[in-house]
């Protein structure tokens, strides 16, 4: 009898593993229509999935763009679109262009380490960039390019509607806060600014690629990360993953 129960429970465990117990055990309805990998854990509305898909298609149909012409893949986002923490980098590099995902190269590895130091990871944050195609030779996107992609970025932020917006480096800072600020002065300060129709708490810090070149600046990035951790707790943001 005991053996029978044991076999049954092992079978059950195997079954749940097979069909992804994380999804099975939450009591939110599953969305089975996601063509992309947006729907981490089945939490997202079909409307939001469709809106993100539409935005991605709109960006992908941009015309006469030097960035798109030279790129292999669009780099739209990674992470959990239901997250209340959104991270914005500058633009894809070679690895990102190849894989179609932001922050998968060396800077991405450092970003993952930075995030994990405050218990964040790609299941509980959402990541995108100022521009969605790799600038040739990894150059900084021009002012004109940034302006062209800004409405897409604002729409993206509106769709995610984060409580915390974390800007990595001067390109993201200048694109969203303004050209009169410099990263060395603006980092580590909370800014209140409406982005489109949403009102996230915004903080900036050094870009991981810069930190790889200037490791002595990591201590400042650590201060900024601790501020984010504190804000997560103040805002009672629930982290999954
Ligand atoms: N640097 C960025 O700003 N974004 C990426 O996606 C990768 C590197």
pLDDT tens for 190-229 read 999 999 999 999 999 999 999 999 999 999 999 999 999 9
For residue 20, the CA-to-ligand 1 centroid distance in Å is 30
| Ligand 1 pocket by Cβ (under 6 Å) | 89-93, 96, 102-103, 107-108, 129, 209
Q: Is 73 exposed, middle or buried (0-12, 13-18, 19+ CB in 10 A)?
A: middle
For residue 172, the CA-to-ligand 1 centroid distance in Å is 11
Mutate to test the pocket of ligand 1, among 89, 206, 210 (most ligand atoms within 8 A of CB): 89
Lowest mean pLDDT among 6-10, 193-197, 233-237: 6-10
Residue in the block written with tokens 């999954």 = 240
pLDDT of 163 above 70 = yes
Q: Running DSSP on this structure, what letter comes out for residue 103? A: S
For residue 65, the CA-to-ligand 1 centroid distance in Å is 19
pTM of the model: 0.84
Contact 173, 130 (CB under 8 A): no
The confidence score (pLDDT) of residue 53 equals: 98
Residue closest via CA to ligand 1's atom 6 equals: 102
Residue closest via CA to ligand 1's atom 7 equals: 103
The confidence score (pLDDT) of residue 38 equals: 65
Listing DSSP states for 80-98 in one string gives -TT-SEEEEES---HHHHH
* Number of Cβ within a 10 Å radius of residue 82: 20
SS3 content of the chain, % helix, strand, coil (to 5): 50, 10, 40
Mutate to test the pocket of ligand 1, among 76, 86, 92, 111 (most ligand atoms within 8 A of CB): 92
The closest-lying atom of ligand 1 relative to the alpha carbon of residue 95 is 7
The closest-lying atom of ligand 1 relative to the alpha carbon of residue 168 is 3
Q: 202: which 2 tokens?
A: 């915004």
pLDDT of 88 above 60 = yes
């Amino acid at each position: 009898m005991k053996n029978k129960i044991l076999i049954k429970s092992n079978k059950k465990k195997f079954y749940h593993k097979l069909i992804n117990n994380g999804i099975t055990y939450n009591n939110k309805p599953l969305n089975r229509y996601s063509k992309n990998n947006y729907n981490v854990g089945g939490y997202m509305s079909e409307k939001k999935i469709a809106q993100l898909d539409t935005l991605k298609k709109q960006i992908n149909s941009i015309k006469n763009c030097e960035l798109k012409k030279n790129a292999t893949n669009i780099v739209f986002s990674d992470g959990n679109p239901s997250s209340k923490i959104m991270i914005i980098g500058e633009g894809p590099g070679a690895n990102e262009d190849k894989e179609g995902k932001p922050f998968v190269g060396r800077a991405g590895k450092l970003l993952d380490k930075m995030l994990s130091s405050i218990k964040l990871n790609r299941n509980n944050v959402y990541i995108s960039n100022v521009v969605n195609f790799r600038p040739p030779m990894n150059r900084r996107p021009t002012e004109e390019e940034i302006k062209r992609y800004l409405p897409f970025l604002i729409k993206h932020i509106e769709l995610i509607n984060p409580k915390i917006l974390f800007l990595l480096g001067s390109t993201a800072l200048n694109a969203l806060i303004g050209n009169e600020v410099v990263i060395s002065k603006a980092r580590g300060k909370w800014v209140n600014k409406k982005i489109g129709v949403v009102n996230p708490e915004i903080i900036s810090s050094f870009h991981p690629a810069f930190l790889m070149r200037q490791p002595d600046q990591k201590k400042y990035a650590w201060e900024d990360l601790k501020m984010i951790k504190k804000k997560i707790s103040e805002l009672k943001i629930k982290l999954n993953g």
